[in-house]
Structure 1
Amino acid sequence: MDIKEIQSLIKFVAKSGASEVKLETDDIKITIRTGSATSGHETTYVHQVPVAQATMAPVAAEAPAPTAADQSKAEEDSKFITIKSPIIGTFYRKPSPDKPSFVEVGSTIAKGDVLCVIEAMKLFNDIESEVSGKIVKILVDDASPVEFDQPLFLVDPS
């Protein structure tokens, strides 16, 4: 497609009243957007796709082999209980900014103790422990977003 054809396509789209037109062929992609009521101008994007790139198959990256240190760390972590987030939200270690954290690494916890707060939709939900033990590691930074079932704490139950 040459420049004259592209220009005539732009004029045709502008006269037609369409707000957006996309045209794709093997070697070119064109998107023409006519101006909104506030801008009053048109925008044209032309993207030339090299033929070699379009026909190449993606190559999967090979994962590195686990090292002895990784294996020993996995075995060490397997004896701990992982406390996971029951909801999506923002993780907080303190009940409020001026108060101390609920738990620290090394803290002994009992079943029912509050470990953290997760804010979801402006509601602060206390997350209580379902096990007794000692906090070995805190896996999330304070005021970080967390997903459902994301690990939060490692607890040594012994």
Structure 2
Amino acid sequence: MDIKEIQSLIKFVAKSGATEVKLETDEIKITIRTGSATGGHETTYVQQVPMAQAPITPAAAPVASAPETPAQKEAEADSKLITIKSPIIGTFYRKPSPDKPAFVEVGSTIAKGDVLCVIEAMKLFNDIESEVSGKIVKILVDDSSPVEFDQPLFMVDPS
């Protein structure tokens, strides 16, 4: 079981309302608990850690700040963007049907409630609507690709 499967399981348990789930295989044992006696919210995360790690040593001298690189400027610009994520697991489609145009393209202006794509899950086609207004900057998933819960689909500039 890899870390993505574990994370998906944790998210599923949290949304299901179950208070405790135990999973045990030959390789791993996981217990996930949500909710506590005090009414708070608690989730136990289990992660596999590599056996051999290099020791972490503190820096001996302070490092002078370097001039901003283009990658740093792009990262700063990306921090202003809003990421629209998949609310379900399924197959991502940019078009309502093969003979129709895509719902949105890079550069499209969208309003809250506009349909951005369709995700097919168990033979049901679910319209994914925008929760924000803005401009599509990036489309992060290819048409007809499988998507996971909470996977980034679009980057939107809200300004």
TM-score band (shorter)? 0.5 to 0.7
- C-alpha distance in 2, partners of 1:151/1:95? 20
Residue number in structure 2 paired with 1:102: 103
- C-alpha distance in 2, partners of 1:73/1:149? 23
Sequence identity (%): 85
Q: Structure 1 length normalisation: TM-score?
A: 0.57
Q: Secondary structure at the match of 2:138?
A: strand
- C-alpha distance in 2, partners of 1:106/1:60? 44
Residue number in structure 1 paired with 2:7: none
Unaligned runs of 5+ in 2: 1-49, 55-67
Question: How many pairs were matched up?
Answer: 98
Higher gyration radius (CA): 1
Residue number in structure 2 paired with 1:145: 146
Task: Show CA shifts across 1:10-68 (max 9, x none).
Answer: xxxxxxxxxxxxxxxxxxxxxxxxxxxxxxxxxxxxxxxxxxxxxxx95448xxxxx94
Residue number in structure 2 paired with 1:154: 155
Q: Secondary structure at the match of 2:132?
A: coil
- C-alpha distance in 2, partners of 1:75/1:60? 31
In the TM superposition, what are the counterparts of 1:47-62 in structure 2 within 5 Å? 58-60=51-53
Unaligned runs of 5+ in 1: 1-56, 62-66
Residue number in structure 1 paired with 2:78: 77
The amino acid of 2:153's aligned partner reads: L
The amino acid of 1:84's aligned partner reads: K
Residue number in structure 2 paired with 1:93: 94
- C-alpha distance in 2, partners of 1:109/1:121? 28
Offset of residue 151 of structure 1: 0.4
Q: Secondary structure at the match of 2:74?
A: helix
Q: Structure 2 length normalisation: TM-score?
A: 0.57
Residue number in structure 1 paired with 2:15: none
- C-alpha distance in 1, partners of 2:104/2:127? 13
1:111 aligns with 2:112: yes
Q: Which moved more, 1:67-76 or 1:97-106?
A: 67-76
Offset of residue 146 of structure 1: 0.5
Offset of residue 115 of structure 1: 0.1
The amino acid of 2:149's aligned partner reads: F
Cα separation, partners in 2 of 1:76 and 1:120, compared to 1, 3 Å: same
Offset of residue 70 of structure 1: 3.8
The amino acid of 1:132's aligned partner reads: S
- Give RMSD over aligned pairs: 2.1
- C-alpha distance in 2, partners of 1:150/1:80? 16
Offset of residue 75 of structure 1: 1.2
Q: Which has the higher strand share?
A: 1
Q: Secondary structure at the match of 1:137?
A: strand
